[in-house]
Chains A and B, each alone.
Chain A
Amino acid sequence: MTEPMVSLRGVYKIFGQDGASVMDHVKNGMGKEELLAEHKHVLGLNDINVDMQAGEITVVMGLSGSGKSTLIRHLNRLIEPTAGEIIVQGEDVMQLSETGLREVRQQKMSMVFQKFALLPHKTVLQNAGMPLSVRGEDAEVCNREATKWLDRVGLAGFENHYPAQLSGGMQQRVGIARALTANTDIMLMDEAFSALDPLIRTDMQDLLLELQKELHKTIIFITHDLDEALKLADHLVILKDGYVVQQGEPQHILLNPNDPYIEDFVSDINRARVLRVRSVMTPLSDGAVPDDAHGDVDVDDTLESMIARSGGDTSHAYVVKDGDETVGTLDMTALVRALVPRVSSDDGTRNY
């Protein structure tokens, strides 16, 4: 695997009077509650080690208070870590001077916010052009780029409106256009769609995926919504109480949760829509393809589409193709079995 775009190495954040003074306790394994009770410090992040690959969407998921918004603010040092390294394109952000940091924020990372955070006294066009005008570009360049990206996110014709005149979904499109205008390799999205209603949220997720398909940015996306996380993620990081419970390929986490907390999370998911054939097929070991195969399917088909295709008949079996290559076989019985979570959500795991 290539050098990661962003990597966090042993990042700790302790909120309180003197976070550094209680670092030793945390390193010796003191938990969040104990630290608060005994030392009046709040453990924000606990030994975070995450690699974020270029061109991928890394989703950081967790419930409120799990430290996910704290985590994303460490990448551009809106929050200073208590300990650890934050390496962006091989450069340790922690070593940067104030000017250097501003440079990184202007050139390398852009950010989309949960509450949009647009400038209310500027027009949509000026808002979208803001990252360039901060760098000191001409108004003409700013407007040209801003117009281009506003058009791309579907806001052509709204350039001279003020943010307050737009709906929440449209305001967030301005937020995304602003981040795109910055033309940075890395985009940080802090619960970018959480404040939107469900239909618009789906629209925005589709928009993001569509943009990502052509732009290949490195996106770090924060969410508390597992459906959203599974839809967007190439790499999923699950946070709880400031530490990483599990990280990896989302399908893998869904099928192999390593913690009751995650089992509880994934039990509520519509697995048929999320899981793909790739995750439940039997890999081809000896080249044997069942004679009674009902046809060929793609590795990236969802289980839902498979159920529809088989008409609910569990006796069917299919040959799985990745492009032209045969990669495995799919038994509908195995598929149906995979739909049942290992733990159901009714048996009290909610205590976590």
Chain B
Amino acid sequence: MAFYDKLFETLGLSNWCGVAGEGAPLSMADLMAQASGDAASGPFFPFPSLDNLNESCSAILQSRDVTKGIEDGFLAAKPALKSVLDPLTQPLSWMLDGALWLFEATPWFIMIPVLVGISWYASRSKPVTIFVFVAIMLLGLVDHYDVAMQTLSIIFVCTTISVLLGVPIGIAMSKSDRLQKFTVPVLDLLQTLPTFVYLIPLIFLFSVTESKLYGIAIILYAIVPVIRLTDLGIRLVDQDVIEAADAFGMNSKQKLMRVQLPLALPNIMAGVNQTIMMSLAMVVIASLVSAPGLGVNVLRGIRNLELGVGIVAGIGIVLLAVILDRVSKAALSRVDMTHVKH
């Protein structure tokens, strides 16, 4: 005898409900109650949840049917989704694998000078360049050079794609208030959804052995700041300057290329910096789905309780993060400096 029996009787829905309480016990709680012999016990006034209502009326779904429904729905849609997404995202796999191969195949005595050179070109700062050199040497010293390069290759590809997609989306958002209104909730969702949750549907869609699986997860997570800050940067461009551009008859392309993008560049660069940081954060979690790199060692540390392995890999990640952050921040402030030299 369940709490809500009376309710369905008074509503005259007994027939529609069918006979309640029939069949096998449906949940662990039911089983326990049956075993201990006092089936009637329970809270005095249970919440009218799906499960509790089901006890009185079997026509009502149980909560697990909801999760099952989602799963079934996803599985039903999967072939169609897969046939569209698979070829569409295939280049991502190629790029990730290609970059991985390139970073691994290049011998260290070429790779390190190249990286130091890039740091110098981007930052034009001696301390930053020296720091990059020392940090990479340190990583190499404890035999983490290879895994660090794997991580770097993934970040390189994912950040590049995020910027290539994110900047145009940000520009489009800044041009259309309506698009912005629709995009912002999606961006909020991407940013707040627990990172593991991305992985679940992706695992269903793609095989775990495919590199695009973690590529997509990282890009989805890391693309948000570059979109947001491109949009913000363009919207923040001084209206007086825009008016001047209009008054001298610039068309919208000239306005974008000559005024809006250059003036929004510091903000866009800040977005790129954030994107790099977020892809680094995600690359560790992505090691759960076969992403190579430092994350794998962290994961090993957790799985096998190998404290030292985990901590060394963790510090390696911190070093990489600091390298990427300082170089991109130095590049950002350089971009800013050319405009305001007092």
Contacts and interface: CB of A to CB of B under 8 A. Distances in A.
B240 A134 contact: no
A111 B341 contact: no
Contacts of B340: 120, 162, 164
B86 interface: no
Contacts of B250: 102, 134
A115 interface: yes
Contact of B339 (A111, A116, A162): A162
A76 B247 contact: yes
A117 B243 contact: yes
A39 B34 CA distance: 72
Interface residues of B, number: 21
A165 interface: yes
Contacts of A120: 241, 263, 339-340
Interface stretch (B20-28, B189-197, B251-259, B283-291): B251-259
Interface residues of A, number: 29
Interface in B290-342: 338-342
Interface string A281-323: 0000000000000000000000000000000000000000000
A110 B248 contact: yes
A119 B241 contact: yes
Contact of B240 (A104, A113, A164, A165): A113
B244 A113 contact: yes
A182 B254 CA distance: 17
Given A134-B254, A164-B342, A111 B241 contact: no
B262 interface: yes
B249 interface: yes
Contact of B258 (A119, A135, A165, A188): A119
Interface in B227-257: 238, 240-241, 243-244, 246-251, 254
- For B241, B248, B258, B259, which residue has the most chain A Cβ atoms within 10 angstroms? B248
Interface of A: 76, 78, 101-106, 109-111, 113, 115-121, 130-131, 134-135, 162, 164-165, 178, 182, 188
15 contacts: A78-B243, A78-B246, A78-B247, A102-B250, A105-B246, A105-B248, A105-B249, A113-B244, A116-B240, A117-B238, A117-B244, A119-B259, A119-B262, A130-B248, A178-B248
